Structure 1
C-alpha cells in the first residue's frame, strides 16, 4: 500500500510502525515529532530488517527528520551533536535527542544494518548520525553485522540489544574500534541510563573493560559447580548505616589462597567495622585459573597505561602492573531476579589507592551498573601539615563536605551506564574506578535460567591486598579499632585526598552492649570507648607513587 492510499488515522500512528507495514522503499515526507518520540520512548531497538530499499540523499533526509523532530522547540540541535554534549532539557523534564531516536534516524538511512552495528557506529562517531551514516556507507561490513534470525536460550551481551542472533552461531566479539578511549571519560546525561551492549563500547563510557568467554567453557562450568557447592553456606553481610542495622540482600563469603592466610585474616582484617569470621580457601579451579588471570590482567594494565592514561604513564598511587597479583577474593551469590546490591564502592583499606579488581561472572546473566560520583583527580598529593584539625568531628564533617575547613562543592549528577554480564565474562574495574565511581547489581524483572546455575549468579571479585597495608600497620582510632581508608569526594579543595577514619559507626549492633563486654564496667555501663557514631578520628593518608603508605 503506497503512502497516498493510507487512511488519515493511520498517519497519526507511530511512524516507524506505519512505515514498516507499508513497506515503502524510501522516506518520502516529513515525520511528525510526536510519532517519532512515541516510538523512541516505547522501544530500545529498531527491527531494521523490516525496512527495505535505499536512500539516495542521506543528508537531505536527515535534515527533514531533524526539523520535524524539533518542531515546536525554541532551539534546533545539530544532527552531529554528541550524545553527552546536550545537557539542557533534562532539568525541565524534556529529554535531549535520545540514543533511541538517533538509532531510529540512522536505521532509516542504513536499513540493512543490525541495531547492534548501528549503535556501535553511533558511539564511534560521538553521537553524530550523519557521520555514522557516512562511515557505514564507506565501510565494507562483514556478514556477521547483518540481522540474524533466531533467539538464543541465554542472552549474550549483543542479544540484549538485538535478540535476533542465530542460536547456532557462536558469539563473536565485535572488532575493536581504533578510536582512542577518552580520559577523562565523557559525562552521561543525568536521568539517563546508557545501555552498553558490546564489549567494545564499555571502555568509552566507564572505567572498566569487559572480556566475554574468558575461560575455556569446561573450566568455567567446573568453576561454577564448585562455587554453587559453596554458596548454600554463605551468609549475609551485616553492618550499620544511618544508625540502623542493615544486611546485604545477597549472600557472600571471603576466600584466600591458603589456611595460613585465612588464620591471619580472622585475627585482624575488618570489614564494615567488624571482623569477618567466614574465611575460606580457594577452590581447586580458582587455584587453576589464577596464573592465567594474573597474566591477562597485567597485560591489560600495561595496554591501558600506554593507550589511555595521560602521557603513557600509570596513574599516581597505582600499583605497577607487574606487581599486581591475586591474594584474595569475595564470592557473591545472587539467587533469583530480585537479589541485588545497591550503589557502593569497594573498601580501600587493604587494597590501597587506585586499586584494580577483576570480576568473573558465572551462571545467570545480570545487569551491572556504574555511575560517576566524583571527578578523577590526577594529583592527590596531601600536604604534610594540613591547615586544619586532623582528628575530631569538625574534620569528620569536612570530609563529607559539611565542615568549615573546606567549602562543599556540589558534584553535578550524571547518568549511569548499564552492562549485562553473561556467564564466563571477565570485567576489569580499572585504577580510577573505586575513588570516582559507584557500582551496583540492578534488580531484574525476570531472568533467563542458566542450564547449570538455574536462577543463580555467582560473582568472584579477585583482589590484590598490599603487604604494606596489613592490619598491624594501619592506624587505630581512639576506639582502639583499625581505621578505614576513604577518599574525599565532596570538598573541591581536597578532592581525591585520602584519609584514615574511625569505622566503629559501621559496626552491627546486637544490643546496647558489645558481645565481648570489653567496653563496659561491672555495672554494665559504657566506659566511653565507643559510641553510636564512633570517635570521629581522622588523619590524612599519604602514599608514594606506587600507592604504598608513607608513615610519619
Structure 2
C-alpha cells in the first residue's frame, strides 16, 4: 500500500461503508489486512469479515540491530527490492469500478463545537400576597391601609375631579402621542418650592399650577406617611438615599400624581419614574382605589449579566384600598406598568357617595402616587440644557453596581415637547460637586 495514497484510500473505504463509520485507525487496519484492496476492506468493515488486529511484538535493541543488518541494501546494479515494490502498479482490484470522490475533511472532521448556552425564559409570576411581593421585588404591599369609609370618600372625590383631567401628549419618533389614561398633579399645602417643581412634573413642560391636596387626600396622606416611615425603619438604606445615616431623614409626601384608568384597556407601558426632583433611590407610595388592576414589574438586566439570565415579569393584583410602596432601588432596577386586560371586575363601593344615595358600580381605578420631592433637588438647582429647559435625571440602569457607585445623568428632554427636537445635552450627576446629599445645606 503506497504511503502517498493513504489518505485517498481512507476516504474511498469510508465512502463504501454502510455501517457506522469507524475511526481512521480502524479503516487503516482493515486496509493493511486486505493489502490495500478498497472493496475488501469495506466488506470487512461492513461486517462480512472480522478484523484481526495485529498485535505488535515488543522489539528490543538487539532484535532491531539484527533486522537492520539483514535489511536489503541498494546496489549499483539496479533498484532494491523495496524500490521495485514501490514502482509496482497497484492491485487491479482498486480499479474494478469508478468510485465517487469524497472530501477527506467530511470523513475526519471533528465533532461540532458546543452551542451557546440557551437562556431559559421564565414565565410571568403572579404575586398574590404581601409576602410574595416582598420576597421577589423591592416593593411592599399593604392591604386595607385606609379606614373603609375614608377609602370610599377619597375614591368619590378623585372620580369627580378626574372628569376635568387631561391626557398628556408628547413627541415620540417625529409624531405626537397621547397617554392612554387621564392624569393630574397635586401639591401639598406649604410645600414651598415644590409648587414650582410640580409645574415641571411631566417631560420638562411647564404645566398649569397644581391643585392643592383635597381634604380626603390629606387625611389619607398622613396615614400613608406613617406606614412608609415604619417600613423605612426596618430597611437598609442606600448611601445616596435621602435620610441615609440621618435620624431625622423622615419621608414626607409633598406632591402626588394621580391617574384614572377607565375600563380594561386604559393603561401605561413599562417605564421608570424620572428622578429629577425625587433624587437617587426614592421611595414612592402608590395608593389604589376602585376596580382591581394588575401592576407589572420587570427587572432591567445589567449589561454584564445579559448572557447569564433573562428578566422575569412579576404581576401584582392591586385591589381597592391597597398601598404599594416602591422602595429604594425599584426605580434603578425595575420598570413598571399597568397593562391592558381582557376583562375587569366592576367595583362596588361599600359606602354611598352621600347618605341615603344609591351605590353605583364603577369600572375606574384611581391611583395616587405620593412622592417626596427632596430639598436638595429643587427646581432652582436643576441643570438646564442648551435648549434652556430643565433637564431630567435618569439612572444608569444597564451599568448599575453595588448601590454605592451607581451613576445618574442629566439629559435634555426638550424633544418631548419641541417637535421632537432637542440638543442632546448629557451630563453625569456629581452629588458632591452639585452640593447634594450630605453636602446639602438648606
TM-score interval, smaller chain: 0.5 to 0.7
- 3-state SS of paired residue (1:271): coil
CA contact (8 A) 1:359 1:460 kept: yes
User: Number of paired residues?
Assistant: 307
Distance 1:286 1:536, change over 3 A: same
The residue that corresponds to 2:260 in the other structure is 333
Q: Is the 8 A contact 1:212 1:425 kept in 2?
A: yes
Matches within 5 A, 1:120-519: 190-258=121-189, 261=192, 264-265=195-196, 269-277=200-208, 279-305=210-236, 314-320=237-243, 322-375=249-302, 412-452=309-349, 454-491=362-399, 496-507=406-417, 509=419
SS class of match (1:228) = helix
User: Counterpart of 1:404?
Assistant: none
The 8 Å contact of residues 146 and 223 in structure 2, kept in 1 or not, is answered as: no
> Could you say what secondary structure the match of 1:329 adopts?
strand
Structure 1 residues 209 and 503: alpha-carbon distance in aligned structure 2, compared to 1, 3 A threshold: same
Any stretches of 5+ residues in structure 1 without a counterpart?
Answer: 1-87, 92-188, 306-313, 376-400, 402-406, 510-531
Q: Counterparts of 2:145 and 2:308 in 1: how far apart (Å)?
A: 36
SS in 2 for 1:296: helix
Look at both structures and tell me which one has the larger radius of gyration over its CA atoms. Answer: 2
**8 A contact 2:197–2:277 mirrored in 1:** no
Which residue number in structure 1 is paired with residue 437 of structure 2?
A: 548
Aligned residues of 1:542 and 1:549 also touching (Cα < 8 A): no
Cα distance per residue 1:75-115 (max 9 Å; x no partner): xxxxxxxxxxxxx87x5xxxxxxxxxxxxxxxxxxxxxxxx
1-structure distance, mates of 2:230, 2:309: 34
Q: Is the 8 A contact 1:369 1:416 kept in 2?
A: yes
- Structure 2 unaligned spans of 5+: 1-116, 350-360
> Cα deviation per residue 1:34-83 (whole Å; 9 max; x = unaligned)?
xxxxxxxxxxxxxxxxxxxxxxxxxxxxxxxxxxxxxxxxxxxxxxxxxx
- Asked if the contact 2:197/2:378 (under 8 Å) is kept, the reply is no
Of the three residues 425, 430, 437, the one matched with 1:537 is: 425
Rate the CA distance shift 1:222–1:268 in 2: closer, same or farther, 3 A: closer
Q: Could you tell me the TM-score, scaled by structure 2's length? A: 0.64
- The CA RMSD measured in Å over matched residues stands at 3.1
Q: 1:474 to 1:550 in 2, by over 3 A?
A: farther
Indicate if the aligned counterparts of 1:373 and 1:411 stay in contact, CA closer than 8 A. no
Question: What is the CA–CA distance in structure 1 between the aligned matches of 2:424 and 2:133, rounded to whole Å?
Answer: 39
Q: 1:263 to 1:232 in 2, by over 3 A?
A: same
Structure-1 separation of matches of 2:365 and 2:198: 30
